[in-house]
Amino acid sequence: MKRYLSTFFLILSAIILIIGLRMNLQWSGIAAWGLSFISLIFAAYYTKYIPNDKKDEKRS
């Protein structure tokens, strides 16, 4: 399940930006970019759980 979290956070980041930048509220752009940045940090963190097939081939 953890291997799919990277994709989830990337999609969440795009959704936050689309919704946040369409709103015409004060500070909505800064909040959208801030939440998107945090989401991208989590996406980068969970990339370590994506399996590497080349690593498994070297062990065999």
CB 13 within 8 A of CB 46: no
2-53 tens-digit pLDDT: 889 999 999 999 999 999 989 888 988 899 999 999 999 999 999 888 888 7
- Quote the pTM value: 0.79
The domain ranges of the chain are 2-49
Computed from CA positions of residues 24, 27, 35, 14, in that sequence, does the dihedral angle turn out positive or negative? positive
CA–CA separation, 57 and 14 (whole Å) = 35
